[in-house]
Amino acid sequence: MSLYAAFAGNLDARLMSRRAPHSPLRGTGWLNGWRLTFGGEQMGWEGALATIVEAPRSQVFVALYDIAPMDEDSMDRWEGVGLDIYRRMRVRVDTLDGEEPAWVYVLNGYEGGLPSARYLGEIADAAESAGAPHDYVMELRKRPC
């Protein structure tokens, strides 16, 4: 199994259970030195897509999943790896047990553009249900869309 750090909409455990049914939630943590942003507005979806970029003194709340080998291809298809929309990248996640290596999906597009209100609401709801701190969730809800 490999460790996957989910951010944005993939924080929703119900959604992840459909995308990766053999991959249990392990816990939560933080990507320190990264920030949540949006890009790929030109890719034809309703607004820009969530991604992360390196940013000192910033952090992104994540849920950690033990991704079973049988679910890796499904996750790649869902995130559009074969379509060159997202790519996998290794990061270090800070957890209560220390730092752990994990992979994330990072957008293969330029930063910029605004997400739709619906998409941003789904991201904030997912963060809240995953146990993100209240101030983090409120910052998501106040973002421009």
Q: What is the pLDDT of residues 28-38, one digit of tens each?
A: 999 999 999 99
Q: Is the pLDDT of residue 9 over 90?
A: no
* 105-144 pLDDT, tens digit each: 999 988 999 999 999 999 999 999 999 999 999 999 999 9
Condensed to tens digits (0 to 9), the pLDDT of residues 45-54 reads 689 999 999 9
* Residue 145, C-beta contacts closer than 8 angstroms, at least 6 positions apart: 47, 114, 115, 116, 117, 119, 120
Model confidence band, residue 1 (pLDDT cutoffs 50, 70, 90): low
Q: Does the annotation place 110 within a ligand binding site?
A: no
- What share of the chain has pLDDT > 90, as a percent? 84
Q: What residue ranges do the domains of the chain occupy?
A: 2-140
CA angle 142, 120, 55 (to 5 degrees): 70
pLDDT-derived band at 99 (thresholds 50, 70, 90) equals very high
Task: State the catalytic residues.
Answer: 79
Q: In which band, very low, low, confident or very high, does the pLDDT at 44 lie, cut at 50, 70 and 90? A: low
pLDDT digits (tens, 9 = 90+) for 52-65: 999 999 999 999 99
**Residue 107: closest CA among 57, 34, 44, 53:** 53
Three-state DSSP class for 123? helix
Structure tokens at 133: 């701190």
Fold of 2-140: Hypothetical upf0131 protein ytfp (3.10.490)
The chain-wide mean pLDDT, for the chain, equals 93
pTM above 0.85, yes or no: yes
